[in-house]
Amino acid sequence: MLGLDLDGVIYEIAAPICHVASEMTGRQVVKDDITKYGLTECLGLTEVEVKDLIFKCQEDHWLRSELIIPGTRRFLNEFGQNYPVVVITARPDAVATKEFLCQELTVEPEQILVFSARSREKGKLASKLGLTHFVDDHFVSLTAMMQVGIKPILFDQPWNQLLPAPQSRTWQLVDRIKNLNELWRFIDV
Binding site for Mg ion (CB under 5 A): 5, 7-8, 137
Q: Indicate the residue whose CB is closest to Mg ion.
A: 8
Q: What are phi and psi of 135, to 5 degrees?
A: -105, 125
In terms of CB distance, is 59 or 108 closer to Mg ion? Answer: 59
Of the pair 45, 138, the CB lying nearest Mg ion is at 138
Report, in Å, the least distance between residue 31 CB and Mg ion. Answer: 14
Complex with Mg ion: residue 104 or 122, whichever CB lies closer: 122
> What 3-state class would DSSP assign to 124?
helix
Taking the complex as a whole, how short is the minimal distance between the CB of residue 11 and Mg ion, in angstroms? 9
What is each CA distance from 125 to 11, 64, 74, 88, 134, in whole angstroms? Answer: 21, 27, 26, 8, 11
Cβ burial, residue 30 (10 Å; 0-12/13-18/19+)? exposed
* Comparison of 29 and 135: residue with beta carbon closer to Mg ion: 135
Angstrom distance (rounded) from CA 178 to CA 182 = 8
We find the least distance from the C-beta atom of residue 111 to Mg ion, in angstroms, to be 22
Cβ at position 137, least distance to Mg ion in Å: 4
